[in-house]
Amino acid sequence: MPYTDPSHVDIIAPNFKRRLSGVTSTIVQLVPVQNRLGQRVAVIGPGLPTSLPRIRKRDLWKLWLKPKGQKRRVWHARRNTEMLAGIVLRDVLRMPLKLLFTSAAQRHHTGYTRWLISKMDRVVATSGRSGSFLKVDHTVVMHGVDTELFKPAEIRPETEIADRFPGKRIAGCFGRVRAQKGTDLYVRAMIALLPKYPDWVAVISGRTTQQHQAFADELKAEIDKAGLSDRIVFIGEVDDIKPWFRSVSLCVAPSRNEGFGLTPLEAMASGAAVVASDAGAYAEMIEPEKTGLVVPAGDGEALRNAIEVFLADPQRTDAAGTAGRAHVTEHFELSREAGALGEIYKGLLEA
């Protein structure tokens, strides 16, 4: 898509991180829906697909000019660097902007971050838990997923693992391979459980950076020692994760800590049961005993026991997957998130 004329942009969504992250993924999924709802959103920054409406850095001076039909714009920041940039544009360069910050962090903010947040015109928290760490008035707007993109398979998914294990049920763990994400807890749970449940296999999908390569190698050695290398498989980072969600009957999200965490929502939308830790917003998106189970973060024994509930009862697994799809469609559709943000934008633009 060609660059967008800032005169036709009401909302600017900066992305000041080149590598893919949860925040980047949120922007990529949300912006097209926002524009379909008439919110006139454009992005700026690296690491985003060219299909998104965007403005060039060299056109930033045009933010001194009011957009057509409005008195100001909204700068929607999601990181410290983006908040700081917004403050400079508004308070130093005197551009007609209102500043909005979305916080997903579930920790006490540093003094610097609290100062940045205090300069925002509105603040959004992505969950009640993340909001509990904010010292300012805020509105909770939970993330959603596009249930047309993430949906159950109409026929058996054709993925490498599905073809490799015909007739087997698949449990999946999705996300970067590192201790923070609890990859070791998942692997060790599956090492303990799979010998008892021959109809199941386990996959781990996600990027392993050089910093965490030794961690991944240690896990692979444990799998090999247990004689399960053919049933616990690292598939690395894949270009399109959606078919993989449709391939699994059970998704496990064992993070020790998390910001928000979209994986359980994407898995439930795809028709999978979910076992998750209580990190991030997982506990606020899962209906215990109905769509999945939630266990204390870092508790390997509790995680193993919860996974076994579903490995031992495929009918319960399927029922949870069906209920999860209905739950996400009703409460976590991406258009609901876009609509809630739209109301906040409207208030800022009309202030």
- Are 105 and 19 part of one and the same domain? yes
**Whole-angstrom distance, CA of residue 322 vs CA of residue 268:** 8
219: its two tokens: 């896990």
Confidence class for position 156, pLDDT limits 50, 70, 90:
low
**Whole-angstrom distance, CA of residue 194 vs CA of residue 233:** 12
**Is pLDDT of 161 > 80?**
no
Tell me what pLDDT residue 2 has: 72
Alpha helices in 37-182 (DSSP H): 80-87, 111-118, 128-131, 160-164
For the stretch 36-69, pLDDT in tens is 999 999 999 998 888 999 999 999 999 999 999 9
Tell me what pLDDT residue 160 has: 67
- Are 318 and 177 part of one and the same domain? yes
Alpha helices in the chain (DSSP H): 22-36, 80-87, 111-118, 128-131, 160-164, 183-193, 213-225, 242-247, 263-269, 282-285, 300-311, 314-331, 334-350
Q: Is residue 341 part of a domain?
A: yes
Nearest Cα to Cα of residue 312 among 171, 174, 184: 171
Tell me the residue range of the domain where 273 lies.
160-331
Q: Is residue 149 part of a domain?
A: no
For the stretch 314-345, pLDDT in tens is 999 999 999 999 999 999 999 999 999 999 99
- Are 294 and 199 part of one and the same domain? yes
Do residues 328 and 265 touch, judged by C-beta distance below 8 A? yes
Count structural domains, the chain.
2
Do residues 37 and 68 touch, judged by C-beta distance below 8 A? no
Q: Is residue 153 part of a domain?
A: no
- Provide the mean pLDDT of the chain: 93
- Are 253 and 337 part of one and the same domain? no
For the stretch 223-264, pLDDT in tens is 999 999 999 999 998 888 898 899 999 999 999 988 888 899
For the stretch 162-196, pLDDT in tens is 777 878 899 999 999 999 999 999 999 999 999 99
- Are 280 and 195 part of one and the same domain? yes
For the stretch 66-83, pLDDT in tens is 999 999 999 999 999 999
- Are 208 and 327 part of one and the same domain? yes
Cβ neighbors of 275 (< 8 A, separation 6 or more) are 250, 251, 252, 253, 254, 292, 293, 294, 295, 303, 306, 307, 310
Confidence class for position 21, pLDDT limits 50, 70, 90:
confident
Percentage of residues in the chain having pLDDT higher than 90: 82
- Are 339 and 327 part of one and the same domain? no
- Are 195 and 252 part of one and the same domain? yes
Q: Is residue 152 part of a domain?
A: no
Please give the model's pTM, rounded to 2 decimal places.
0.86
Tell me what pLDDT residue 167 has: 81
- Are 316 and 338 part of one and the same domain? no
Tell me what pLDDT residue 78 has: 96
**Whole-angstrom distance, CA of residue 9 vs CA of residue 43:** 10
- Are 173 and 308 part of one and the same domain? yes
Q: Is residue 46 part of a domain?
A: yes
4: its two tokens: 């967008």
For the stretch 84-134, pLDDT in tens is 999 999 999 999 999 999 999 888 999 999 999 999 999 999 999 899 999
Tell me what pLDDT residue 163 has: 75
**Is pLDDT of 154 > 80?**
no
Q: Is residue 87 part of a domain?
A: yes
- Are 39 and 22 part of one and the same domain? yes
Do residues 290 and 240 touch, judged by C-beta distance below 8 A? no
Q: Is residue 234 part of a domain?
A: yes
- Are 177 and 39 part of one and the same domain? no
Residue 17 belongs to domain with CATH number? 3.40.50.2000
Q: Is residue 151 part of a domain?
A: no
Tell me what pLDDT residue 241 has: 87
